[in-house]
Amino acid sequence: MKTKIIVTKDLVKIYDMGTKSVCALNGVNLSVEESEFISIMGTSGCGKSTLLHILGGLDKPSSGSVEIAGKALDLMSDKELSVMRRDYIGFVFQKFNLINELNVFENITLPMLLAGKKPDETKIMELCETLGISDRIDHTPLELSGGQQQRVAIARALANDPSLILCDEPTGNLDHSSSNEVVELLKTVHDKYCKTILLVTHDSNVASVADRIITMDDGQINECSD
């Protein structure tokens, strides 16, 4: 039996918006097994990005609990959360968040340097080969297409060898062709490196690459399908 890498119980997130409150998550219960590839679908404002940010320790729930690899995020200090994000979780966002002054290799290895690790050049080059950017290693982000920049962002997310990859609308800034390429690369990453991947998207074509699709509406999980 596979290990449960994510478990949420009665997860609630309420944002205070001046004179009113907005309930972004309303009692979310979710269980994700190790090495699963899951897409989370729903319209804008349904709570899917909020859920992903809480799972990644970027935001805190108003109530309920979150466990990642058996560790309760809501009981962690800010320092412990930072270590969890650094060592255990890789993030891929809609905006590539690359540093234009650094080349591709430097962007990818930055998380390793921040963690006090010496980059393994052989491993990084193998990763770049898998993602189709090995011939762009000395280029800066401004010299790359949008699809290539997202490939670099994926490589950066994998640099510290995290067990969990969280992707928030990773194809949102890409054209149709580049979007398909990035989705296929995420599938390759899942299959080759046995990563657990949660992919937030509003695009059914993007979502279809996953092993399981979760549909959200009004802060709740409506449906799970294999």
Q: Which CATH number is 128's domain given?
A: 3.40.50.300
**Per-residue pLDDT band at 135 (split at 50, 70, 90):** very high
With a CB cutoff of 8 Å and minimum separation 6, the contacts of 61 are 11, 12, 13, 25, 54, 74
In a domain, 4, yes or no: no
Q: Select the more confidently predicted residue: 200 or 17.
A: 200
SS3 content of the chain, % helix, strand, coil (to 5): 40, 30, 30
Look up the pTM and report it: 0.93
In a domain, 158, yes or no: yes
In a domain, 3, yes or no: no
- For residue range 141-184, what is the model confidence (pLDDT) as tens digits? 999 999 999 999 999 999 989 999 999 999 988 998 999 999 99
Say if residues 40 and 53 touch (Cβ distance below 8 Å). Answer: no
> What's the confidence (pLDDT) of residue 1?
64
In a domain, 71, yes or no: no
> What's the confidence (pLDDT) of residue 225?
63
How buried is residue 194: exposed, middle or buried, by Cβ count under 10 Å (0-12/13-18/19+)? exposed
In a domain, 167, yes or no: yes
Residue 147 domain boundaries: 34-62+77-225
Alpha-carbon distance 174 to 177, whole Å?
A: 8
Phi, psi (deg, nearest 5) at residue 50: -60, -45
- For residue range 70-79, what is the model confidence (pLDDT) as tens digits? 999 988 999 9
**Total domains in the fold of the chain:** 1
- For residue range 106-133, what is the model confidence (pLDDT) as tens digits? 999 998 888 888 988 999 999 999 999 9
Segment holding 121, helix H or strand E = helix 121-131
Q: Comparing C-alpha atoms, which of 93, 113, 92, 91 is closest to residue 102?
A: 113
In a domain, 28, yes or no: no
Say if residues 159 and 139 touch (Cβ distance below 8 Å). Answer: no
Alpha-carbon distance 83 to 37, whole Å?
A: 24
Alpha-carbon distance 208 to 214, whole Å?
A: 11
How would you classify the pairing of strands 20-33 and 4-17? Answer: antiparallel
Q: How far, in Å, are 8, 96, 120, 139, 150 from residue 145 at the CA level?
A: 37, 11, 26, 11, 9
In a domain, 163, yes or no: yes
In a domain, 48, yes or no: yes
Say if residues 76 and 66 touch (Cβ distance below 8 Å). Answer: no
